Structure 1
Amino acid sequence: MLPKAPGFSLHGKTALITGGGRGIGLAAAAALAQAGARVTLVARSADELERASGQINEEGGQSDFIALDITDSAAVSAAIEAREPYDILVNCAGTNRPKPLVEVTDDDINAIIDLNVKSVFHVSRAVAKGMLRAGNGGSIINVSSQMGHVGSPGRTVYCASKHALEGMTKALAWELGPHAIRVNTVCPTFIETVLTASMFDAPGFRDWVTQRIALGRVGRVEEVMGAIVFLASDASTLVTGSALMLDGGWTAA
């Protein structure tokens, strides 16, 4: 008898997505909902979340939302522990303030590290407690970046934050692996989003980027969706501590 391929269905699963109101976070939430999961969107803006959740529900998905500042550790713990345990977590909230090191302010450092690193600790800790309590395993997907594997001018703090996220992911994979909780990253190249729009407005920047991508173009949010579903589903039950590169070949050079 031939082995049976595992499925990508997420019916019966629940997922929490930070940064879920727009961009890659909303795309991740939509992908998980389309695969059958009930999704909870998290971000600071209630209006943005209400619109995003409404779109998912209008298209046949199941979603709700929590307006939450995930840099607030106590608020994160209270909000997540008040809910039933989640099966899937996507840590997608993030920010960047590209500038030369000598122009980086303490506020820049704090803003990037607080959201890109510390908030991932806050949310992962709260969700992992629920996963461990439920005893059903789970999948934690950290949205990292190709910049978690390389360096780039003008991005010292951002690169530091994403390299930290890669290290955290590997450590958590070992810590949570015995409980059937998998922890991985997805590492996109530059994607057309609200976050990157101002970067692409800079003269010559798009050309600089595309010259470093083997496919010769920047990415679309839709191209991240399949990777999210893969890592959330039974199709990836042997994958943990890994970084799935969605970089168009940037790191292959």
Structure 2
Amino acid sequence: MAAQSFGYNFKGKKALVTGAGKGIGRATAKALVECGADVVALSRTESDLKTLKTECPGITTVCVDVADLQATREKLWSITPIDLLVNNAGVTSLQSFLEVTPEEYEKVMNVNHKAVLFLSQYVAKWMIDRGKGGAIVNVSSMASKVALKDHTSYCSSKAALDMLTKVMGVELGPHNIRVNAVNPTVVYTEMGRKAWSNPQKATPVLQRIPTGRFAEEEDVVKAILFLLSDSSSMINCETLLIDGGFCAN
């Protein structure tokens, strides 16, 4: 994806992308670099960061697990200030409601909701102190709005993330900090393929998507860039479905 295909200029902005080792996060980090941003890519997997650094030599990489709040906070001190934040790190767990364990529930909620809350809190306080505003995009899911079998913890975490997005936007808006979320359908990332590789599971969902396909990484990246940019300066507290019409059908 070339910079001119996006039409955005983030020169002079520092962007932090979590979960940047793979999938949507990696693609977003690379797109922001192409659009001129000074990008900090955060991942818990050192090997992924090494290959990303090879592909984008100018990128700054930070290896930390966002579920470890103290370690994350310590790492963030060295990279502030941040103008743009993309909370992309996420995990899933395929367990039916009757089989959900406390351990799996806590793992999913800690990464998908708790880590977003506190990492955003750290970054937003620095944004407020600088007085220059900023933009935050949380990567949520269609699963926040539609109940999916065997996704009890995941659906719950993303529904909580949507409401967190709205509360953040309400409280941070007066500081010229906008907060929005993108809510894609299944995206063909590594995690997406793992969860939806079975045709018996995928076909009924695809049949409800008017466009007839799952999302690609680029579909989500373009929406994230739009919400980070000044082109969306009056958009705040929104959850943007990228579902090909699934929820309308």
TM-score category by the smaller chain? Answer: over 0.9
User: C-alpha separation between the residues in 2 aligned to 1:199 and 1:157?
Assistant: 14
Moved over 4 A (4+): none
Match of 1:46 in 2: 46
Structure 2 counterpart of 1:11, one-letter code: K
User: C-alpha separation between the residues in 2 aligned to 1:150 and 1:116?
Assistant: 17
Unaligned runs of 5+ in 1: 1-6
| 1:2-32 Cα distance to aligned partner (Å, 9 max, x none) | xxxxx72111111000000110111111221
SS in 1 for 2:136: strand
SS in 2 for 1:139: strand
The TM-score, its normalising length taken from structure 2, stands at 0.94
The TM-score, its normalising length taken from structure 1, stands at 0.92
Structure 1 counterpart of 2:198, one-letter code: A
User: C-alpha separation between the residues in 2 aligned to 1:223 and 1:249?
Assistant: 14
SS in 2 for 1:84: coil
Alignment of 1:113-132 (within 5 A): 113-132=109-128
Match of 1:215 in 2: 211
Match of 1:71 in 2: 67
Alignment of 1:1-253 (within 5 A): 8-57=8-57, 62-253=58-249
| 1:13-57 Cα distance to aligned partner (Å, 9 max, x none) | 110000001101111112211211111111111121121132123
- Percent identity of the aligned residues? 38
User: C-alpha separation between the residues in 1 aligned to 2:206 and 2:55?
Assistant: 32
User: C-alpha separation between the residues in 1 aligned to 2:46 and 2:118?
Assistant: 20
User: C-alpha separation between the residues in 2 aligned to 1:104 and 1:248?
Assistant: 30
User: C-alpha separation between the residues in 1 aligned to 2:229 and 2:169?
Assistant: 16
SS in 1 for 2:40: strand
Q: How far apart are residue 99 of structure 1 and its match?
A: 2.1
Asked if structure 2 preserves the Cα contact closer than 8 Å seen for 1:53 and 1:64, the reply is: yes
Q: How far apart are residue 120 of structure 1 and its match?
A: 0.4
Single out whichever of 140-149 and 75-84 deviates more from structure 2: 75-84
Structure 2 counterpart of 1:76, one-letter code: T
Match of 1:3 in 2: none
Asked if structure 2 preserves the Cα contact closer than 8 Å seen for 1:144 and 1:165, the reply is: yes
Number of matched pairs: 243
Structure 1 counterpart of 2:36, one-letter code: G
Q: How far apart are residue 160 of structure 1 and its match?
A: 0.7
Structure 2 counterpart of 1:184, one-letter code: N
SS in 1 for 2:16: strand
Asked if structure 2 preserves the Cα contact closer than 8 Å seen for 1:81 and 1:126, the reply is: no
Asked if structure 1 preserves the Cα contact closer than 8 Å seen for 2:100 and 2:152, the reply is: no
Single out whichever of 148-157 and 179-188 deviates more from structure 2: 148-157
User: C-alpha separation between the residues in 2 aligned to 1:9 and 1:75?
Assistant: 32
Q: How far apart are residue 118 of structure 1 and its match?
A: 0.8
Structure 2 counterpart of 1:105, one-letter code: T
Asked if structure 2 preserves the Cα contact closer than 8 Å seen for 1:20 and 1:41, the reply is: yes
User: C-alpha separation between the residues in 1 aligned to 2:174 and 2:237?
Assistant: 13
Unaligned runs of 5+ in 2: 1-6
Q: How far apart are residue 203 of structure 1 and its match?
A: 4.2
CA RMSD for the aligned pairs? 1.3
